[in-house]
Amino acid sequence: MWNQIKLVMLVLLALGPVAVAQKYIGAGGCASSNCHGGTSNADEKDSRIWGNEYAIWQLNDKHSKASKVLMEPRSKRMAEILRIANPQTDAKCTSCHAAGSPEKAANDGVACEACHGPAEKWLGTHTQANSHAASVATGMVDTKNLRLRAGNCLECHMGSKDRVVDHELYAAGHPDLNFELDTFTWAQPVHHRQVKASAGNSLPRVRAWAVGQATGLAEGMKLLGTRAAKSWPEFAEMECYQCHHDLRQDSWRLERGYGGRKPGSLQLNMARSEVLRVLVAQLAPDLRGAVDAALNEVAMTVSTQLGNGAAVQRAAQKAAGVGDQLATRFAQADFTPENARAVVRALSGDINRIAGGGVHTAEVATMSLDSLSAAISGNNAGTQQTMAPLYDYLEHPSVYTPAGFAALFRKAAGAVN
């Protein structure tokens, strides 16, 4: 008996402080008019925050509609195919589409606390001046930490072991997921003041972009490792259009060739690596060898040892470590207009190779250019016109060609100054 109790205590000690699930308040609990329910942006001299976060979220942020889309015809058809009785209550969907609210307010969709953490313990104190650290200690997500912020978004925008969009969901009709932190932050739309430039952080948005890229690699490789260990091959980890395309004699794939791969072998989804290689070559050249070696090993293992999940897992773990190392580096790096311009030039110079990775890789290049040019010019609206042809082009993946995309990309990149 005592031995058993001792054993339990040892186990508890080994586990450390046991995380007790904290409760969500629900978006309505943030909406009072002197908290986050204002109707317009407060002046900076009057308030550290805008105060109208609830209205922005409720009216313009798709997250507030995320559980309602589960009632739409597209979701109903997915549910039928997947034999899910009710997508609005099934965790296969609600894990990402209804989060951050107590059960009774689940139709909040993705509510404030899905990103900011359950507020039970910090609700009372977070209104006080300089309370951020205390709030974080009691369960608030430190969204100011770019790695944590990116990791939080990626939980749903890429998936994790508990939040799953795999090829089965895609084949049932789920839109494919792709993510770039800075572009998505502005598209959300933002409900917070922009981080101001400061010594050592000349272009905060470029830092967000770079940390987002590195975190995407790290988390992506962790997810790949988990999948490789569990059920492999998982088609959701591969470039989609290598399988989903027409058979044509004038195929751009024949023209491109297969690089070091055996013709017809499977290609990993390159969206999280090819742009990042350029970023590393420009701004962390000392890590270039390690990054290239780790990325090449994952890609080659997937294409030459498709059946060997354990080998894929090992290669992915190594690449995840490199991604974490880069994220740490970029989270402290200074990104200046000069080096942001250098990255734009390097992307443009390397765009044929990047475009050869396929549509998703081209999407990441596009969002990256969007983010970099907006940061350099300090202006979102100005870049919209320049970027529109690229986004339009990517709307039609069946007619995608690397050469067509690369020409448009070089043009848009040339307009950045």
- CB 201, CB 331: distance < 8 Å: no
- CB 24, CB 113: distance < 8 Å: yes
User: Does 110 help bind ligand HEC (rule: CB under 6 A)?
Assistant: yes
Residues 342-371 interacting with ligand HEC (rule: CB under 6 A):
none
Interacting span for ligand HEC (CB under 6 A) from 13-21, 158-166, 203-211, 280-288? 158-166
Q: Which is nearer to ligand HEC, 138 or 348 (CB)?
A: 138
User: Does 147 help bind ligand HEC (rule: CB under 6 A)?
Assistant: no
Residues 64-103 interacting with ligand HEC (rule: CB under 6 A):
65-66, 69-70, 72, 74-75, 78-79, 82, 84, 87, 92-93, 95-97, 99
User: Does 122 help bind ligand HEC (rule: CB under 6 A)?
Assistant: no
Q: Which is nearer to ligand HEC, 233 or 404 (CB)?
A: 233
Q: In sequence order, what are the residues at sequence separation of 6 or more whose Cβ sits closer than 8 angstroms to the Cβ of residue 310? A: 228, 229
- Candidates 53, 46, 48; CA nearest to 32 is 53
Alpha-carbon Rg for the chain in angstroms: 23
Q: Which is nearer to ligand HEC, 93 or 280 (CB)?
A: 93
Among 24, 25, 27, 409, binds ligand HEC (CB under 6 A): 27
Structure-token pair, residue 272: 């999280």
**Is the peptide bond prior to 189 cis by the omega test (within 30 degrees of 0)?**
yes
User: Does 140 help bind ligand HEC (rule: CB under 6 A)?
Assistant: no
Residue with structure tokens 């009785």?
Answer: 85
- CB 122, CB 134: distance < 8 Å: yes
Q: Which is nearer to ligand HEC, 30 or 320 (CB)?
A: 30
Among 116, 121, 222, 318, binds ligand HEC (CB under 6 A): 116
Structure-token pair, residue 404: 């067509």
Structure-token pair, residue 45: 């001299």
Among 24, 25, 38, 53, binds ligand HEC (CB under 6 A): 53
- How many angstroms separate the CA atoms of 373 and 49, rounded? 26
Q: CA–CA distance from 162 to each of 47, 127, 165, 213 (Å)?
A: 38, 32, 10, 22
- CB 146, CB 212: distance < 8 Å: yes
Interacting span for ligand HEC (CB under 6 A) from 176-184, 250-258, 322-330, 379-387? 176-184
User: Does 402 help bind ligand HEC (rule: CB under 6 A)?
Assistant: no
Residue with structure tokens 């765009």?
Answer: 351
Q: Which is nearer to ligand HEC, 132 or 345 (CB)?
A: 132
Among 117, 118, 139, 149, binds ligand HEC (CB under 6 A): 149
CA 358, distance to chain mean position in Å, is 18
- Candidates 340, 353, 365; CA nearest to 272 is 365
Interacting span for ligand HEC (CB under 6 A) from 205-213, 239-247, 342-350, 373-381? 239-247
**Is the peptide bond prior to 87 cis by the omega test (within 30 degrees of 0)?**
no
Q: What are the residues binding ligand HEC (CB under 6 A)? A: 27, 30, 36, 49, 53-54, 57, 62-63, 65-66, 69-70, 72, 74-75, 78-79, 82, 84, 87, 92-93, 95-97, 99, 110, 112, 114-116, 143-144, 149, 152-153, 155-157, 159, 163-165, 167, 169-171, 174-177, 184-185, 187-188, 191-193, 235-236, 238, 240, 242-244, 266
